[in-house]
């Protein structure tokens, strides 16, 4: 346990940031999972909006530093390519 006042403050800050990051990570995971389920259903028109929302959530999380930018880009690229394959046949 922190004893020095500055160490106590750092611990409080750490807990706040961890909670904020966990919320953002959960939101991204939920959006990506919904996109993957929509793609698995096989209807490209229904999956379009869900995939777009997942890509936006990934970009938002990457801009805040919650998710690494390359991880977000890679995940968005994979779901977009699956949507393209589904749409083109």
Ordered DSSP codes for the chain: ---SHHHHHHHHHHHHHHHHHHHHHHHHHHHHHHHHHHHHHT-HHHHHHHHHHHHHHHHHHHHTTSS-HHHHHHHHHHHHHHHHHHHH-
Range(s) of the domain holding residue 74? 5-88
CATH number at residue 28: 1.20.58.110
**What integer pLDDT is reported at residue 57 of this predicted model?**
97
pTM summary value: 0.85
**What integer pLDDT is reported at residue 38 of this predicted model?**
96
For 5-42, what is each residue's pLDDT tens digit?
999 999 999 999 999 999 999 999 999 999 999 999 99
Number of domains in the chain: 1
């Amino acid at each position: 346990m922190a004893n020095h006042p500055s160490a106590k403050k750092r611990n409080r800050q750490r807990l706040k940031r961890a909670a904020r990051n966990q919320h953002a990570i959960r939101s991204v995971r939920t959006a990506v999972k919904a996109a993957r389920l929509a793609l698995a259903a096989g209807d490209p028109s229904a999956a379009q909006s869900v995939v777009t929302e997942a890509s936006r959530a990934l970009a938002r999380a990457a801009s805040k530093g919650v998710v690494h930018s390359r991880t977000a880009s890679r995940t968005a690229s994979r779901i977009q390519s699956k949507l393209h394959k589904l749409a083109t046949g």
